[in-house]
Amino acid sequence: MAHDLSEPRRQGTPRHGLWRHLLRATGRDTGPLVRPADRAHSRLVTGCALAVVAAFVLAAVAAWGTWNAEHRRALDDRQQRQQITATTVTRAAARTSPSGSGLTDRALAEATWNGPGKVRHKSVVEVPLGTPAGSPVRIWVDDDGGVTARPRTNADVVMATALAGVSVFTALSAASLGVFTIRARRLERRTLEAWESEWTVVEPRWSGRPGI
């Protein structure tokens, strides 16, 4: 025999509609087949739905905050960094790829360039593989003329924003669903235990057999 926490399905109505759970959770569904366990289950469903909505709101807040912070950093980067032309003084030497496979289209070479105040700089920079000595290469430098990473792009800002929003929503939703699953299983177990206890009393009367 299947044990369901809800009343039998009515023709043409959703069996587990959120609206029905909301009515049960607030005590407005007064049908004769609605048991206390059904109301408890509906409260769990309603609470889980509200938690998911809250997770979405918090994810939106996190994404908005991340976008503002990353956008300000990108503007600061563009103001404090500039791209100039350097000249390589050595032939490009292949570097080891992060994956350790040895496959890479980038290399390292020494290069020189003029920084602020015409100060001559010399350092190792990243260049395309196979770049010969004496080649012009484009590099990013800071206010002091030192080599630095390229500034954040709009794509970087969007990626960081999306990652923040998705991470917050996923974490909070997963936690909510985990709590719901644990509590729903406990409720179902208690309901089945109560049903079996009641059945031991009712079954002899219903079947006409003497109780044990």
What was the pLDDT predicted at 70? Answer: 93
pLDDT along the chain (212 residues), means of 10: 44 52 58 60 76 92 95 90 91 67 72 86 90 92 89 92 95 88 76 65 61 50
Task: Tell me how crowded residue 42 is: count the other CB atoms within 10 A of its CB.
Answer: 24
Of 91, 171, 194, 199, the C-alpha closest to 137 is: 91
User: Can you give the pLDDT at residue 5?
Assistant: 44
| pLDDT confidence of residue 46 | 77
Residue 131, classed as helix, strand or coil, is: coil
| Two tokens, residue 62 | 């996190």
| CA–CA separation, 66 and 98 (whole Å) | 28
Judge contact between 126 and 107, C-beta under 8 A: yes
The pLDDT, as a whole number, for residue 176 is 86
- Report the DSSP beta bridge partners of residue 134: none
Note the pLDDT of residue 100: 52
How high is the pLDDT of residue 38? 63
Quote the pLDDT of residue 204: 63
Task: Give the alpha-carbon dihedral of 132, 138, 141, 146, to 10 degrees.
Answer: 10
Please identify which residue in the block is written with the tokens 């002091």.
144
Q: What is the pLDDT of residue 186?
A: 77
pLDDT for 58: 95
Query: pTM of the prediction?
Result: 0.62
User: What does the pLDDT read at residue 180?
Assistant: 80
**Chain Cα centroid distance, residue 153:** 22
What is the per-residue DSSP string for 141-204? Answer: E-TTS-B-PPPPPHHHHHHHHHHHHHHHHHHHHHHHHHHHHHHHHHHHHHHHHHHHHHHHHHHH
> What pLDDT does 140 receive?
92
Residue 181, amino acid: T
Q: How many CB atoms lie within 10 A of CB 164?
A: 20
